[in-house]
């Protein structure tokens, strides 16, 4: 009998496959396949990213600009550099904003009447007014907001977090994606891709029915027959991988099969909302038609972080619906009605359960909107100055960071590029964006491409 040469050899001879997954998991503890390069004590354990696809108007939500109404109908003042816009309209007049604004909470942060429920949480929220990006269109903007670069091919932030920290629940993915309708956001699965890293770090899209939260997860053959088939497949995969140790994709595929088998029993429980009270459902707006879909996803996000999922990304307005080149009042009014109550419910629920302290909530889109009009009643893409906000996870609420100019066109104070946003999120999780590396083709790759830094103002320092 040949001697046992490796742990994998031992597991194979012991009847490995999916019946021995628990043993393999024990061998892998405590790293859970994570890089484990925490550089400092984390303030957050999990992230919930509320991604408003299409580019919501900061000018109508959290960044009031009285000068808009004073200059309405007039051209952009000559003192402003003429921006490059997606639609290329030159000389468009300033568009007024009919929104009503109020200061909220002890902090007195401003919020418009488009988000009355989120406004009640302003003391927990840090609004970053000075964001900017390079992506002028949706494809590049969404790509950069997820990967720090406006062309495809790099790992998403969720994949980097999954790689750096792993998951606290070995039966669920570390990175989960939720969309609010059957459509995919622009760029599709590339938004939650692992890029050049092993596929085991990419996001897993949840959706569909409660009994099958992940498409094709259940086997029509039944668990016993499926287990036998997977055991045989595992044996062949492992033989193939052992002879090609340099190909990490093979190891990633084996891990994905193992995780899929475990998820078949755990995922339905995680998405089973039947155990939630009617009061909780009302909190998220699940009793109302216009808020039901996104409310369900927000509640599901809370259930996932409770179970140790590290990074949950929720897309709202899937299919660039925040993209209001015309009729912005009608467009944003409808979208805010469907988004505002569920997001406020999520913040309330996390806080009541003691989860907000460890969970970083991020809200924003790929860019903002211009102060100039388009088609008379809409606004074009604005990557040069826009707002996002953060709450929980060690963030000091009740503050604004940075500023745009008097018309909200350019970020002018304490400017934060997408790379700085990612670096700040990673820092809150205990990761240094320049120390977290992955070797790819002989060079160390970093999540923010050797740039970007943590903004200490986020924690009030």
Give the residue from 307, 358, 306 showing the smallest Cα distance to 44.
358
Out of 16-20, 112-116, 435-439, which region has the weakest mean confidence (pLDDT)?
16-20
Which domain range does residue 366 map to? 31-81+108-207+271-459
Residues in the chain: 461
Higher pLDDT, 414 or 10: 414
pLDDT recorded at residue 20: 34
pLDDT recorded at residue 15: 41
pLDDT recorded at residue 235: 72
- The beta-strand segments (E) located in 174-268 are 175-179, 204-206
Q: What's the CA gap between 16 and 12, in Å, rounded?
A: 5
pLDDT recorded at residue 248: 56
Q: What's the CA gap between 138 and 156, in Å, rounded?
A: 16
Q: What is the three-class DSSP state of 65?
A: coil
Whether the model clears a pTM of 0.75, i.e. scores above it, the answer is: yes
Instruction: Give one word for 320, left, alpha or beta, with left for phi > 0 and alpha for psi -120 to 50.
Output: left
Does a structural domain hold residue 228? no
The answer, yes or no, to whether residue 311 has pLDDT greater than 60, is: yes
pLDDT recorded at residue 315: 97
Does a structural domain hold residue 117? yes
Mean pLDDT of the chain: 87
The answer, yes or no, to whether residue 28 has pLDDT greater than 50, is: no
CATH number, domain containing residue 407: 3.40.720.10
The answer, yes or no, to whether residue 220 has pLDDT greater than 60, is: no
Out of 18-27, 207-216, 420-429, which region has the weakest mean confidence (pLDDT)?
18-27
Give the residue from 108, 118, 99, 119 showing the smallest Cα distance to 59.
99
pLDDT recorded at residue 170: 83
Q: How many domains does the chain have?
A: 1
> What's the average model confidence in pLDDT over 295-320?
96
Higher pLDDT, 212 or 169: 169
Does a structural domain hold residue 98? no
Confidence of residue 199 (pLDDT cuts 50, 70, 90): confident
Q: What's the CA gap between 127 and 301, in Å, rounded?
A: 22
Does a structural domain hold residue 455? yes
Residue 244 exposed, middle or buried by CB count within 10 Å (0-12, 13-18, 19+): exposed
pLDDT digits (tens, 9 = 90+) for 112-169: 999 999 999 999 999 999 999 999 999 999 999 999 999 999 999 999 999 999 888 8
Q: What percent of the chain has pLDDT over 70?
A: 80
**Beta carbons of 424 and 161 less than 8 angstroms apart:** no
> What's the average model confidence in pLDDT over 187-209?
89
pLDDT recorded at residue 257: 59
Confidence of residue 4 (pLDDT cuts 50, 70, 90): very low
Q: What's the CA gap between 198 and 381, in Å, rounded?
A: 34
CA-CA-CA-CA dihedral for 274, 277, 283, 285, to nearest 10: 40
> What's the average model confidence in pLDDT over 65-77?
97
pLDDT recorded at residue 415: 98
> What's the average model confidence in pLDDT over 335-360?
98
The answer, yes or no, to whether residue 35 has pLDDT greater than 70, is: no
Return the bridge partners of 438, or none.
Answer: 445
Does a structural domain hold residue 266? no
> What's the average model confidence in pLDDT over 417-441?
97
Residues 6+ apart with CB under 8 A from 356: 124, 347, 350, 391, 392, 393
Does a structural domain hold residue 20? no
Q: What's the CA gap between 200 and 379, in Å, rounded?
A: 40
Confidence of residue 262 (pLDDT cuts 50, 70, 90): low
Does a structural domain hold residue 450? yes
pLDDT recorded at residue 217: 58
Does a structural domain hold residue 399? yes
Round to the nearest angstrom and report the end-to-end CA distance of the chain.
64
Q: What's the CA gap between 77 and 195, in Å, rounded?
A: 43
Return the bridge partners of 75, or none.
Answer: none
């Amino acid at each position: 009998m040949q001697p046992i040469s490796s742990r994998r050899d031992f597991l194979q001879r012991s009847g490995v496959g999916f019946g021995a997954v628990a043993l393999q998991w024990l061998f892998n503890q405590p790293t859970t396949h994570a890089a484990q390069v925490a550089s400092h004590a984390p303030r957050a354990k999990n992230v919930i990213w509320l991604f408003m696809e299409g580019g919501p108007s900061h000018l109508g939500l959290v960044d009031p600009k009285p000068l808009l109404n004073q200059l309405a109908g007039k051209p952009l003042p000559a003192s402003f550099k003429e921006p490059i816009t997606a639609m290329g309209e030159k000389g468009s007049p300033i568009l007024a904003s009919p929104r009503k604004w109020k200061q909220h909470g002890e902090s007195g942060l401003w919020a418009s009447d488009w988000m009355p429920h989120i406004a009640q949480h302003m003391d927990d929220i840090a609004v970053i007014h000075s964001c900017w990006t390079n992506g002028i269109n949706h494809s590049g903007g969404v790509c950069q907001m997820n990967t720090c670069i406006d062309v495809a091919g790099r790992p998403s932030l969720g994949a980097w977090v999954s790689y750096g920290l792993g998951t606290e629940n070995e039966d669920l993915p570390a990175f989960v994606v939720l969309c609010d309708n059957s459509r995919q956001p622009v760029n599709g699965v590339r938004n939650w891709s692992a890029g050049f890293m092993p596929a085991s770090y990419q996001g897993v899209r949840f959706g569909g029915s409660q009994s099958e939260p992940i498409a094709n997860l259940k086997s029509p053959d039944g668990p016993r027959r499926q287990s036998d088939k997977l055991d045989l497949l595992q044996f062949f995969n492992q033989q193939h991988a052992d002879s090609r140790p340099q190909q990490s994709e093979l190891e990633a595929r084996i891990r994905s099969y193992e995780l899929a088998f475990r998820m078949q029993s755990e995922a339905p429980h995680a998405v089973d909302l039947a155990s939630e009270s009617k009061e909780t459902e009302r909190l998220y707006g699940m009793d109302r038609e216009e808020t039901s879909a996104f409310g369900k996803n927000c509640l599901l996000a809370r259930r996932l972080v409770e179970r140790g999922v590290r990074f949950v990304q929720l897309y709202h307005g899937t299919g660039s619906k925040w993209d209001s080149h015309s009729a912005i009042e009608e467009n944003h009014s409808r979208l805010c009605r469907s988004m505002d109550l569920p997001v406020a419910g999520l913040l309330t629920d996390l806080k009541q359960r003691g989860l907000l302290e460890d969970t970083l909530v991020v809200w924003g889109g790929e860019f903002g909107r211009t102060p100039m009009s388009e088609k008379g009643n809409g606004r074009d893409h604005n990557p040069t100055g826009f707002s996002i906000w953060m709450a929980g996870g060690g963030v000091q609420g009740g503050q604004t960071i940075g500023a745009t100019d008097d018309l909200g066109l350019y970020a002018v104070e304490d400017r934060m590029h997408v790379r700085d946003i990612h670096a700040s999120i990673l820092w809150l999780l205990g990761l240094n964006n320049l120390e977290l590396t992955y070797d790819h083709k002989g060079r160390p790759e970093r999540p923010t491409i050797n740039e970007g830094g943590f903004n200490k103002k986020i924690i009030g320092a």
